[in-house]
Amino acid sequence: MATTSDGGAPKRWDPRTDRKAYMVWMALVLLAVVGGFGIDFVRYLGESPPPPAILHVHGAVYAAWLALVVIQIALVEKGDIRSHRWLGWATAGVALAMVPLGLTAAFVDEARRLHHPDSDPQFLALEFEEIIAFSTFTIAGLLLRRDPAAHKRLMILSAVAISDAGFARIWLNGIKVAPPGPFGWWMQYFWGIALILIAMTGWDLWRRRRVHPAVLAGAALLIGGEIVVTALQFSPGWKTLMTQAVTAWGYVG
């Protein structure tokens, strides 16, 4: 393995030296999903009226995509690159289905709560940001599949982009502390993503004394999106616009 002149960190982005890191980063996403949705599961099943089928389907497809990504990482760890590449296209197909399904589920969920006290149509900004970031990372990961270090980081980032739902449920249903103001709202929904980005950045700095461009670009996209989402959450104009959009949508599943 190539090293710097002083025998320190590797010069090149050899993905084999990052395998354990990929597993840790993905494990954090899985812990968020299992922990967050596990805490919220009883409340979800007890909703009245019951959640529509589209929300169940959305959750199942989302879980299937995460499972496929985990299998992809396991195949690389085993050295079965051929199966990894073949299954990658199936994973991409599921990712493609997640985009319209995610948008539909988001509008249905907001439409069914539109006239309830907890109605929050401006929250759609977060849903849009998730889908944009997820799609961007997935497409970039596919385009850069011949660059293993970039490809793997981008696919991890695609999972990170939609992990806020799990982290938010851990905070809202487990920690149950609501800090005031925009920063407090950001903390409740994006604290977990911030921790994973710190972990990814820290690993690159420790291992190679520089951060991979994919991580830098990914962090910029995620943080920039979170700033926009937080601003829109507190924007009366955006709330009015999204209320009109959800009302026009109408379908509640």
Q: What is the pLDDT of residues 146-174, one digit of tens each?
A: 998 999 999 999 999 999 999 999 999 88
Query: CA nearest 132: which of 175, 103, 173?
Result: 103
pLDDT at position 188: 96
Q: What is the pLDDT of residues 8-37, one digit of tens each?
A: 545 567 777 888 898 899 999 999 999 998
pLDDT at position 239: 96
How many angstroms separate the Cα of 44 from the Cα of each of 20, 30, 40, 108? 34, 19, 6, 15
DSSP 8: -
**Per-chain mean pLDDT for the chain:** 90
What one-letter code names the amino acid at 105?
Answer: A
Question: C-alpha angle 114/120/125, rounded to 5°?
Answer: 120
Instruction: Name the 3-class secondary structure at 31.
Output: helix
Question: For the chain, what are the domain ranges?
Answer: 16-249
Question: C-alpha angle 52/53/55, rounded to 5°?
Answer: 75
Q: What is the pLDDT of residues 35-47, one digit of tens each?
A: 998 888 878 877 7
- How many whole angstroms separate alpha carbon 4 and alpha carbon 114? 59
Stretch 191-220: mean pLDDT, rounded? Answer: 96
pLDDT at position 175: 84
